[in-house]
């Protein structure tokens, strides 16, 4: 359908993550209004109750605020957003490091390999 979801995680969590990534990439910015629950449900092809849970979870994380009668907005509090983006980065690095360690690669080697990989990429290979 319109969006694909993995089987192993609740759909509302996957949409939370999707919105966090959009904020991290500056596709959505501080203070911006999010689409209404119904609009978001239609564009993603999911049940409105799912979006309600997504917005509820984002609100709990203080990433969004619901203003009565106006809708849901991304917080103006940049410190909260910066912390959230840092946390996402941190989690991604944790995962990378853990995976490399499982492969038996030392930390020095990890840094070397990563540098080599990125250099190659820049070289267009």
Partner 1 sequence: MICFENATKKYGKEFALKNMNLKIEKGKIYGLVGANGSGKSTTLKMIAGLVRPNSGKVLVMGMPANRKIAENVSYLTELDMFYEGFTIRQMIEYTASQFLDFRIKKAEKLIEFMNLDFSKKIKNLSKGNRGRLKLVLSLSRDVPILLLDEPFSGLDPMVRESIVKSLLTFLDFDKQTVVITTHEIAEIEPILDEIIVLNNGQFIAQHTVDQLREEQGQSVLEWMKENLNREDLEKV
Residues 9-32 as b or e (16 or more Cβ within 10 Å = b): eebbebbbeebbeebeeeebeeee
Strands annotated E in 3-102: 64-67, 71-74
Q: Is 46 in the site for partner 1 (CB under 8 A)?
A: yes
Q: Give the count of residues interacting with partner 1 (CB under 8 A).
A: 21
Contacting partner 1 (CB under 8 A), which of 22, 35, 48, 77? 48
Considering only residues 6 to 35 of the shown chain, the ones binding partner 1 according to CB under 8 A are 7-12
Output the smallest distance, CB 18 to partner 1, in A.
13
Listed residue (23, 8, 18) closest to 80, CA to CA: 23
Q: How far apart are CA 1 and CA 96, in angstroms?
A: 31
Residue 69 within binding range of partner 1, rule CB under 8 A: no
Least Cβ distance, residue 10 to partner 1 (angstroms): 4
Rounded to whole angstroms, how far apart are CA atoms 95 and 50? 28
- Residue 3 makes contact with partner 1 by CB under 8 A: yes
Of 16, 34, 50, 58, the one binding partner 1 (CB under 8 A) is: 50
- Could you tell me if 48 and 38 are in contact, meaning their C-beta atoms sit under 8 angstroms apart? yes
Contacting residues toward partner 1, per CB under 8 A: 1-3, 5, 7-12, 38, 41-42, 44-50, 53
């Amino acid at each position: 359908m319109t969006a694909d979801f993995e089987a192993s995680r609740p759909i509302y969590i996957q949409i939370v993550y999707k919105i966090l990534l959009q904020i991290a990439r500056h596709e959505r910015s501080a203070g911006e209004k999010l689409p209404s629950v119904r609009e978001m449900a239609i564009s993603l092809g999911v049940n409105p109750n799912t979006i309600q849970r997504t917005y509820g979870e984002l609100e709990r994380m203080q990433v969004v605020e619901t203003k009565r009668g106006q809708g849901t907005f991304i917080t103006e509090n940049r410190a909260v957003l910066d912390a959230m983006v840092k946390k996402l980065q941190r989690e991604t690095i944790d995962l990378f490091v853990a995976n490399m360690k499982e492969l038996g690669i030392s930390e020095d080697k990890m840094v070397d390999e990563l540098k080599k990989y990125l250099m190659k990429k820049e070289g267009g290979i």
